[in-house]
Structure 1
Amino acid sequence: MKPPKPTSRPDKVSLWRYLKLFRKDLLSAQPQRLYRAWMAEFRTPFFRSYMINQPELVETVLKQRPDDFPKSGRISEGLRPLLGDSVFLTNGETWKRQRRIIDPAFEGGRLKDTFPAMLEAAQACVTRLKGQAGQVIECEEITSHAAADVIFRTLFSVPIEHEVAAQVFEKFRAYQRQQPLLNLAAFIPVPKWVPRLHARNTRRNAQDIRALISRLIAERADLIATSQAPDDLATKIMTTPDPETGHCFDTQEMVDQVAIFFLAGHETSASALAWTLYLMALYPEWQEKLSAEAEILNGSSFSAVSRLKLNRDVFREALRLYPPVPMMVREATYPEQFRGRDIPKGAQIVISPWHLHRQERLWDRPDDFDPTRWSTENGKSCQRHAYIPFSAGPRVCTGAGFAMVEGPLLLSMLLRNFRFELVEDRTPVPVAHLTVRSKDGIWLRVVER
């Protein structure tokens, strides 16, 4: 058996058929040739998009000249009601200032400090799941709950059951269901000057989430002022001044940043872990290997996580096959030329981890699940040049290291206590929403070991 793919990979599509397929699912609309192409052009009456699938071009845009290819404003507007001017949406000097304040909180030494909170969230997830042993469960719901718990414990030192945390989680679930595809605007032929409209419920949920986050931040500011604040990520970020200006985030800026920490840290981790659990049910021999390796966690020390090599390789392979953010969009600020093609100023540059991670010219057996590939020459080469689950360059995800501790930890804790089994006629179909999720959920039977 092979890992599930989108429902179709059409060989050739016209623009209008592409848009029709796109309305159903972004991933299924992508033609088969894009898994071999180094570059593809999408023309519309109003603008052009170029998907680049060649490592050298991706490196140019993300690593060598990131200032020339800022994040596309078409994407930003879709998420602005919730994220405001968070580090995920800003460009230029504003973004650089935000990263100077945020990055120190996620440096290597801080990961060890956040580990106890991660471990508590993992143990709480195991406890909750014991009540469902023997049942068929929807895994994305389980992993979303666990990932949200990790975020609140590491950011604010409160569990998901905390009154405000629980409300944020519930409001976000409603927001997620209403939010259109993250990269939709990069493909739809609508001129840039057309205003982005948001459903009333979407705006209301975003406002409610931001109001709840504001309460948490106000409470933390009071604790900081009286020197009673816990030493967690929120305290670290709120008390870190920009080394160039000496200024800290004001309340509004902090709300923006917490919103993206919750979105990125919760939504992407939940997606990756749910797909990993499905792969473990699909390949039970790997599940047993990981369960045995998880005994390393006896004693639950931070150093033990670094020895979870198989768990880490499996999680890395799941991120390759199902990158939580399937596509990223940049905008050309100058006329360019890629592979002999003229790229006009304002063109949308689409970088697709989904395609790059399955690029047939680069990867051995790109559609196969094979955690051993990371120790091969091909796997090592591709990891350096064609593997970007957390983006790359200066805009690489701040929490990449955090995620690579959290994912293998949660995975090993779950597999140490439970066995996950396939359910007949419940093969998940990957689709792109805010992240790569299953069209109708990921359903597995959970059995206590």
Structure 2
Amino acid sequence: MQPPKPQSRADKVSLWQYMRLFRRDILSAQPERLYRAWMAEFRTLFFRSYMVNDTDLIKAVLKERPKDFPKSDRVGSGLRPLLGNSVFLTNGAVWERQRRIIDPAFEGGRLRDTFPSIRDAARAATERFTALAGQDIDIEPETSHAAADVIFRTLFSIPIDHKVAREVFEAFHRYQRSQPILNLAAFLPIPAWMPRGYRKPTRQSARHIRRLIHTLTDARQREIDAGTAPQDLATKIMTTPDPETGARFDVDEMVDQVAIFFLAGHETSASALAWALYLLAFFPDWQDRVAEEARTADLDDFSQMSKLKITRDVFRETLRLYPPVPMMVRETTQPEVFRKRAVNPGAQVVISQWHLHRQNRLWDAPDDFDPARWETENGRSCARDAYLPFSAGTRVCPGAGFAMIEGVMMLASLLRDLRVELTDDAPPVPVAHLTVRSRDGIRLRIVRR
């Protein structure tokens, strides 16, 4: 049995049809042939896009020559209402300055420093799930609550209560359903001075999320000024000077960064955890192995995380099959040659983790859920060259290690004493806007072991 994936569209559709399909869902808008293609060209009247599954090309774009392939603002234009001028969207000197300030917060022993907050959020999540034992529930709101709790505890040293978590989840839910990764500017040459065509719900949801973040960030700055701030991620980032200029983030700049931390540390983690729980309900033998492993480890001890190898492989496999961020878009800045084809400056280079992780010329049984693959020669090879849940190269997600600890800890804590089971509801259908979610939720039954 294979876990669900979206049904691909017919090979040929008009640009107008493609735009409508893409706006509804990125994944099902793509043809089936992309799962076996090394490269595909998409043409509009105004620009060319090249989706690349060729690992040598991907290595050149992300690792060897990243400055020649900056982030495309065709993506940035869709996310800017929420993320502003965050490190996720910037390029060049601005991005380099932001990373110089942000990266120290995630280096070396910082994971050990944040572990107590992750552990406490996992405990709280386990208590909430235990209270739901015997019920059939949509798991996605619960994993969103858990992931929001983690990010608020680690960033601001405050647990998030259920009401606020639901409010934030609904705001993100409205945002991602109302604004896909690419908007009209992705297909048309709209000048910078023209309105971007954001929908009203998009603007309202983004303002709501950013107001919440601004309130917390402004309060933290006052605590820093008074010398009473806790030493969490927000404080570390807001008090870290740029080693080249000595300047720090002001409150408005920090709001932009917290917005992407929240998106990366909440929305993406919630997506991954929900799909992991679904996959373990779908494959109960693997769930039993995770539970047994969790019972042999001391989950209060950071050093024990390295012993949760089965759980880690399960989470890695989840990120392969359901990468929370389904694609990245870069832009060419000079003439290029891709697979003997001339590519002009200004072309879009699409690296689709969704298709790369299921490329049937690279992976053995790419649509199967098989956590054991990571111990095989094929799995190790693909892990090096064809596995990009956190991107790669200089723009790799600074919180990748954090996310892996969080995912493993959550699964171990939840499944040590609880079981998740499939219900009689229809299987979830993956769709992608901001992240890969289920079209109609993921229904699971919570059972005490």
TM range (shorter): over 0.9
Superposed CA offset, 1:360-397 (max 9, x none) = 11111111111111011110010000000001110001
Alignment of 1:2-13 (within 5 A): 2-8=2-8, 10-11=10-11, 13=13
Q: 2:189 aligns with which of 184, 188, 191?
A: 191
Choose 219-228 or 86-95, whichever is displaced more. 219-228
Q: Does the Cα contact within 8 Å between 1:70 and 1:331 map onto a contact in 2?
A: yes
Identical aligned pairs, as a percentage?
66
Distance (whole Å) between structure 2 residues aligned to residue 146 and residue 246 of structure 1: 36
1:238 aligns with 2:220: no
Secondary structure at 2:144 match in 1 = helix
Q: Residue 334 of structure 2 aligns with which residue? A: 334
Choose 282-291 or 18-27, whichever is displaced more. 18-27
How far residue 108 of structure 1 moved from its aligned partner, in angstroms, is 2.7
Q: Residue 182 of structure 1 aligns with which residue? A: 181
Give structure 2 stretches of 5+ with no counterpart: none
Partner AA of 2:189 in structure 1? P
TM-score (norm 2): 0.95
Q: Residue 362 of structure 1 aligns with which residue? A: 362
Choose 136-145 or 193-202, whichever is displaced more. 193-202
Secondary structure at 1:350 match in 2 = strand
Aligned residues: 447
Alignment of 1:42-441 (within 5 A): 42-161=42-161, 168-178=168-178, 180-184=179-183, 189-193=187-191, 195-298=195-298, 300-441=300-441
Secondary structure at 1:81 match in 2 = helix
TM-score (norm 1): 0.95
Assess, with a 3 A threshold, how the Cα gap between structure 1 residues 447 and 365 changes in structure 2: closer, same or farther. same
Distance (whole Å) between structure 2 residues aligned to residue 133 and residue 428 of structure 1: 21
Assess, with a 3 A threshold, how the Cα gap between structure 1 residues 371 and 28 changes in structure 2: closer, same or farther. same
Q: Does the Cα contact within 8 Å between 2:87 and 2:98 map onto a contact in 1?
A: yes
Partner AA of 1:216 in structure 2? L
Alignment of 1:13-32 (within 5 A): 13=13, 15-32=15-32
Distance (whole Å) between structure 2 residues aligned to residue 83 and residue 14 of structure 1: 32
Superposed CA offset, 1:6-27 (max 9, x none) = 0235455554554454344221
Distance (whole Å) between structure 1 residues aligned to residue 222 and residue 188 of structure 2: 46
Secondary structure at 1:108 match in 2 = coil
Superposed CA offset, 1:388-411 (max 9, x none) = 000111000111010010001001
Q: Does the Cα contact within 8 Å between 1:71 and 1:330 map onto a contact in 2?
A: yes
Distance (whole Å) between structure 1 residues aligned to residue 165 and residue 28 of structure 2: 35
Choose 61-70 or 422-431, whichever is displaced more. 422-431
How far residue 356 of structure 1 moved from its aligned partner, in angstroms, is 0.7
Superposed CA offset, 1:114-136 (max 9, x none) = 01100111111111112211111
Assess, with a 3 A threshold, how the Cα gap between structure 1 residues 229 and 166 changes in structure 2: closer, same or farther. farther
Q: Does the Cα contact within 8 Å between 1:160 and 1:166 map onto a contact in 2?
A: no
How far residue 213 of structure 1 moved from its aligned partner, in angstroms, is 1.7
Secondary structure at 1:26 match in 2 = coil
Assess, with a 3 A threshold, how the Cα gap between structure 1 residues 356 and 163 changes in structure 2: closer, same or farther. closer
Q: Does the Cα contact within 8 Å between 1:268 and 1:325 map onto a contact in 2?
A: yes
Distance (whole Å) between structure 2 residues aligned to residue 76 and residue 171 of structure 1: 19
Q: Does the Cα contact within 8 Å between 2:62 and 2:395 map onto a contact in 1?
A: yes
Superposed CA offset, 1:325-345 (max 9, x none) = 111111111121111111111
Q: Does the Cα contact within 8 Å between 1:108 and 1:401 map onto a contact in 2?
A: no
Aligned alpha-carbon RMSD (Å)? 1.8
